[in-house]
Homo-oligomer: A and B are copies of this chain.
Amino acid sequence: MPELRKDPIVDRWVIIATERWKRPSDFQVSRELPGRGSLCPFCPGNEALTPQEVLAYRPEAGRANGPGWTLRVVPNKFPALQIEGVLNREGVGMFDKMNGVGAHEVIIESPDHKMTLSAMSEKVFENTFWAYRDRILDLKKDGRFRYILIFKNHGVEAGASLEHTHSQLIALPIIPSQVLDELNGSREHFAEKERCIYCDILKQEISDGARVVCENGDFACIAPFAPRFPFEVWVLPKAHASNFEETQKSHFESLARIFSEVLRRLDRALNTPPYNFILHTAPLRDKADEYHHWHFEIMPKLTEVAGFERGSGFYINPTPPEEAAKFLREVDL
């Protein structure tokens, strides 16, 4: 079973795959994704190649694990964590670990193998966000989990291993370190000022305008003041909201609209770059509704992995966010 282990110095949890572990010879890097010739487990008709679905949207009624879906969620066939078992916490001398209990799911956003998310209709985005919400609400019932990470790797350089468009969900019994840093930072700000730090940032950004990429009535997309990566952008709800899964029904449409626009702007400006996006929402059990503000972070993968940055947490960004935002604003759609 995989293990969750904590670094005792910086309190950072990592997943260690203790079973099917990679030997040195397994690290041959392939720069190509399995092509259209090979059988795609995410295509309609190949449902039997994935584990049994946990969610699917079928506009016309149809049987589970058959075709006819517009969106489908299945457990990852090679999960980083294992869904069965009780959470077992253990000390090993001065170290802490627990068994790797968690959910690892794949959200297949569309039956269409050849499409990228940015080329799809806003309806596909809306479906995708509904699926994120439905899965969070379902997994939230499981008392073992404290956090749900939802993310997308697009393009092999950004870590995608299958061509057919999909996002991923990992439900964890711990809170990832960067999310924890955010929670701590925003809690401190609230303790001092009785205000959400993201609301303060949004107010300043929208009035200043230089780092705004686009906005609509409910959402804004900004390039953050101190971005780690060139053309990193965030999408945030304008009204304070800590939990993504509590998003109002009417907001899914405007979220789909802005998200689709942002991806198309990135595609145009950067020639369809590989990218990652990740949802930062509040933890499942820790009450953070006053001070945390959910948002998506979208990070194009433009530079080779920033060598020493892996070992220092210190980033050198060659593109000022004001220039990135201006470029993205002015691109022809």
Contact = CB atoms under 8 A, between A and B. Distances in A.
Interface of A: 3, 5-18, 20-24, 26-27, 29, 80, 92-95, 149, 151-153, 156-160, 168, 172, 176-179, 181-182, 185-186, 189, 197-198, 200-201, 204, 208, 224-231, 269-271, 273, 276-278, 280, 297, 299, 301-308, 310-321, 323, 327
Contacts of A189: 8-9
Contact of A9 (B168, B185, B303): B185
B278 A308 contact: yes
B24 A151 contact: no
A23 B3 CA distance: 43
A168 B311 CA distance: 13
Nearest to A274: B307
Nearest to A29: B304
Nearest to A180: B313
Given A308-B168, A318-B21, A226 B6 contact: yes
Contacts of A178: 10, 311-314
B225 A278 contact: no
A200 to B, nearest CB: 6
Given A305-B158, A311-B178, A14 B228 contact: yes
Nearest to A276: B307
B204 A313 contact: no
Contacts of A308: 149, 151-153, 159, 168, 276, 278
Contact of A315 (B11, B14, B172, B315): B14
Given A10-B178, A149-B312, A204-B93, A304 B226 contact: no
12 contacts: A9-B185, A12-B315, A16-B226, A17-B317, A24-B269, A24-B271, A27-B270, A27-B302, A94-B200, A152-B308, A157-B305, A278-B311
B311 A297 contact: yes
